């Protein structure tokens, strides 16, 4: 027997061709590096800062943030950018497509060298060629320098968010992801591809620590459990929690149970709207695996939602509105008149006793619905979303962030809420604090009214919040075409260590920790676990 003749000449040709191609490319690269256009010394100037997107001018950034890549939105055939500070080596390069991607290592060196100081971003635009003068007549235009302030305090290095499509009632792909803020790395914590496209709901951490985490799940195939992660152990709780908050002790998880209904608008800018037909709150005791509540948390005549514990664990803050409809099936005519008060109730952990309910901010006095309370780690600042009505600020363009100084004495028995300057015409919501209290992250629709993006803002020691900036991305134009929304941004001090596989396995497990809802619960249908009739999308 003989082997078929080996014909290697074709292969050799191919290899030769590849080598030649590589050599050519290398030569081109070397030539292009060597001939980077630079602006002339005496180029024309424009007395304004250049238009860049995302807008990073005059923002305050953490010293550990990833490079602020951006697109220069000025007409031209390229731009030269120099990023410099008082100390360290400046970064400078020419970008023919005007998409400025800064080198990560050089950026971090420069930012670290100037921590607590400023960065200057000088942008030079190379003009559009003049047809008569030709390419040789290309000139440069210099703009005013963009200033970026670098704060002394770092931000927690990990941001966790839910990434979903802006859907209404249908969903396919979604997941909870963690983003390293120092780089651009995004890794999944749990995606629904791991459990047949079920729904991954909101995530909550205990005091910015990744060791204690709660995730709500809803799946046609695997039920609607709550996953509680406690130092690497995943517990599958046999009922779904709504909006969830950890007691700072880590021993109690307080949650709302919401009967959500989605509503559609026929002519508003935002098509979707949401109301809670009913809601109440309860607490899961991690040690005993039991659930209890209090009449103040489950008032038959009120809607209670968005619980949050104060950092000292002595108060539970939440939103509460009167329940004005009896029918739980048809859309109430006055649903867009519902406004939530902000209330709080004291709690003693040792004796497990609840105190008296008190109003922190009154909807009637504010003329708005007060939602999503979050308190700074030092206990001083309370941030809330306020919108014209209802319980879902992310769908309300009127939703703005307000700040309350909890240490300031009440005026006429009421605390004073101050609207923040960082708001826009679009919805602002889902805010949270960093572990050091110097940074807040929040969701905003200011870039487009459908796609929620995450913004970061610096809060100084006086409580003033500086101009926010959108979460930087490696591709500077990512937000121009990104069909995903970032929802519920939460900062944590380090990445979640538990693997997506372990979490998915817990979702698919049939063994849950059974819990019994208290039969004394005031709101009807308690204990059925069937209060979730519609997915909460964002």
Partner 1 sequence: MKRTKTRQPQAARSVPTEPCRFDWQLLMADGLFYGLVYVYLWLGVGTHFIFHGAGLISNFPSFYTTRDFAAHTLSQLGGVTLYASAFLSQLFYHAWLGAIVVTAQAWLFGVCLAYVVKMSGVTLWRWVRFVPAFLLLAMYSQYLYYVPTTMALLLALMFASAYVYMASRLAGIARLAVFLVLSGLCYAAAGAPYLVFVLVCALYALLGARLPVLACVQVLIGSAVPYGMGVLVWGMDTPEAYTRLSPISWTLLSFESRSLGMGLVYALYALIPGLMVAGRAWPWHSPVLFKSHARIRSVGVMVMSVAVGAGVAGMSLDPQRQAQLAMDYYAAHRMWPQVMQTGYKLPGDEYALHALDRGLYHTRHLGSELFNWTQTPNALFLENTSHKRALWIGYAVAMEMGLLNQAEHALTECLEGLGDRPIVLEHLALINMAKGNVGTARVYLGALSTTLFHRTWANECLALLKSDPNLTSDRDVQYLRSVALDQDMPTVKYPPDEMMKLLLKKNPGNRMAFEYLMTYYMLHNELVPLADNIGLAANMGYTALPTHFEEAALVYVYTKKKPLRLEGMTPNAKLSQRIKQFSQILARHQGNAGAARSELETSFKNTYFFYNVYGPKPRTSTAVAP
Residues that bind partner 1 (CB under 8 A): 1-7, 165-172, 194, 196, 261-269, 271-273, 331, 335-336, 447-451, 475, 477-483, 499-501, 504-505, 508
Between 215 and 361, name the residue whose CB sits nearer to partner 1: 215
CB of 121 to partner 1, least distance (A): 23
Which of 154, 186, 61, 66 lies closest to 435, judged by CA? 154
CB of 140 to partner 1, least distance (A): 23
What distance in Å separates the CA atoms of residue 103 and residue 92, rounded to the nearest whole number? Answer: 10
Which DSSP state fits 350? Answer: T
What distance in Å separates the CA atoms of residue 286 and residue 277, rounded to the nearest whole number? Answer: 29
Between 102 and 252, name the residue whose CB sits nearer to partner 1: 102
CB of 420 to partner 1, least distance (A): 21
Between 162 and 247, name the residue whose CB sits nearer to partner 1: 162
What distance in Å separates the CA atoms of residue 195 and residue 188, rounded to the nearest whole number? Answer: 14
What distance in Å separates the CA atoms of residue 441 and residue 443, rounded to the nearest whole number? Answer: 7
Between 275 and 291, name the residue whose CB sits nearer to partner 1: 275
Paired tokens of 240: 């779904």
Paired tokens of 369: 């619905």
CB 298 within 8 A of CB 284: no
CB of 264 to partner 1, least distance (A): 6
CB of 526 to partner 1, least distance (A): 24
Between 172 and 300, name the residue whose CB sits nearer to partner 1: 172
CB of 166 to partner 1, least distance (A): 6
What distance in Å separates the CA atoms of residue 290 and residue 520, rounded to the nearest whole number? Answer: 14
CB of 448 to partner 1, least distance (A): 3
Between 153 and 273, name the residue whose CB sits nearer to partner 1: 273
Between 325 and 451, name the residue whose CB sits nearer to partner 1: 451
User: Would you list the DSSP string of 157-221?
Assistant: SEEEEEEE---SS-----EEEEEETTS--EEEEEEGGGGTT-EEEEEEEETTEEEEEEEEEEBTT
> Helix, strand, or coil here: 427?
coil
What distance in Å separates the CA atoms of residue 365 and residue 436, rounded to the nearest whole number? Answer: 32
**Three-state secondary structure string covering 81-128:** EEEEECCCCCEEEEECCCEECCCHHHHHHHHHHCCCCEEEEEEEEECC
Which of 65, 63, 67, 69 lies closest to 181, judged by CA? 65
Nearest 5°: the CA angle 335, 337, 338 is: 75
CB of 1 to partner 1, least distance (A): 5
Between 123 and 199, name the residue whose CB sits nearer to partner 1: 199
CB of 113 to partner 1, least distance (A): 31
CB of 178 to partner 1, least distance (A): 14
Which DSSP state fits 33? Answer: H
Between 464 and 480, name the residue whose CB sits nearer to partner 1: 480
CB of 169 to partner 1, least distance (A): 7
CB of 481 to partner 1, least distance (A): 3
Using left for φ > 0, alpha for ψ between -120 and 50, and beta otherwise, residue 390 falls in left
Cis peptide before 54 (omega within 30 of 0): yes
Other Cβ atoms within 10 Å of 469 Cβ, number: 21
What distance in Å separates the CA atoms of residue 141 and residue 93, rounded to the nearest whole number? Answer: 16
Which DSSP state fits 367? Answer: T
Between 29 and 268, name the residue whose CB sits nearer to partner 1: 268
CB 340 within 8 A of CB 359: no
Between 185 and 378, name the residue whose CB sits nearer to partner 1: 185
Between 313 and 472, name the residue whose CB sits nearer to partner 1: 472
CB 62 within 8 A of CB 439: yes
């Amino acid at each position: 027997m003989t082997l078929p003749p080996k014909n290697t000449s074709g292969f050799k040709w191919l290899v030769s061709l590849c080598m030649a191609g590589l050599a050519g490319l290398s030569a081109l690269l070397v030539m292009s590096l060597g001939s980077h256009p630079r602006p002339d010394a005496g180029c024309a100037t424009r007395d304004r800062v250049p238009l860049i997107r995302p807008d990073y001018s005059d923002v305050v950034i953490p010293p550990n943030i990833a490079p602020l890549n951006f697109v220069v939105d000025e007409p031209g055939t390229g731009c030269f950018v120099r990023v410099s500070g008082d100390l360290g080596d400046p970064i400078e390069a020419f970008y023919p497509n005007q998409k400025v991607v800064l080198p990560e290592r050089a950026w971090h060196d420069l930012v670290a060298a100037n921590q607590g100081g400023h960065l200057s971003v000088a942008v030079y635009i190379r003009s559009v060629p003049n047809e008569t003068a030709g390419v040789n007549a290309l000139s440069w235009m210099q703009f005013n320098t963009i200033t970026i302030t670098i704060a002394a305090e770092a931000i927690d290095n990990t941001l966790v968010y839910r990434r979903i499509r802006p859907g209404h009632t249908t969903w396919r792909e979604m997941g909870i992801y963690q983003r390293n803020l120092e780089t651009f790395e995004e890794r999944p914590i749990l995606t629904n591809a791991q459990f047949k496209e079920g729904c991954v709901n909101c995530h909550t951490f205990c005091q910015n620590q990744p060791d204690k985490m709660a995730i709500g799940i809803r799946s046609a195939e695997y039920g609607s459990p709550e996953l509680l992660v406690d130092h690497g152990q995943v517990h599958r709780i046999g009922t779904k929690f709504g909006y969830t908050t950890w007691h700072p002790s880590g021993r109690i998880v307080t949650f709302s149970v919401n009967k959500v209904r989605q509503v559609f608008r026929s002519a508003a800018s935002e098509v979707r709207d949401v109301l809670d037909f009913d809601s109440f709150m309860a607490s899961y005791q991690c040690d005993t695996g039991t659930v209890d509540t209090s009449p103040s948390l489950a008032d038959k005549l009120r809607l209670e939602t968005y619980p949050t514990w104060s950092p000292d664990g002595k108060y539970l803050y939440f939103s509460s509105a009167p329940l004005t409809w009896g029918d739980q099936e048809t859309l109430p005519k006055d649903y867009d008149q519902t406004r939530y008060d902000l209330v709080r109730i004291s709690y003693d952990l040792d004796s497990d006793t609840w105190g008296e309910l008190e109003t922190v901010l009154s909807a009637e006095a504010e003329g708005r619905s007060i939602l999503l309370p979050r308190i700074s780690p030092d206990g001083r600042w309370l941030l809330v979303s306020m919108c014209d009505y209802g319980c879902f600020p992310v769908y309300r363009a009127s939703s703005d962030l307000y700040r309350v100084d909890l240490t300031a004495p009440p005026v006429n028995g009421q605390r004073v809420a101050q609207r923040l300057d960082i708001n826009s015409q679009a919805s602002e919501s889902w805010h949270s604090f960093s572990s050091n209290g110097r940074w807040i992250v929040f969701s905003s629709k200011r870039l487009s009214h459908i796609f929620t993006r995450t913004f970061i803002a610096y809060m100084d020691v006086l409580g003033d919040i500086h101009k926010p900036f959108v979460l930087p991305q490696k591709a500077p134009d990512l937000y121009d075409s990104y069909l995903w929304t970032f929802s519920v941004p939460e900062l944590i001090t380090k990445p979640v260590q538990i693997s997506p596989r372990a979490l998915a396995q817990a979702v698919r497990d049939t063994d849950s920790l059974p819990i019994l809802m208290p039969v004394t619960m005031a709101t009807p249908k308690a204990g059925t676990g069937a209060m979730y009739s519609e997915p909460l999308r964002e």
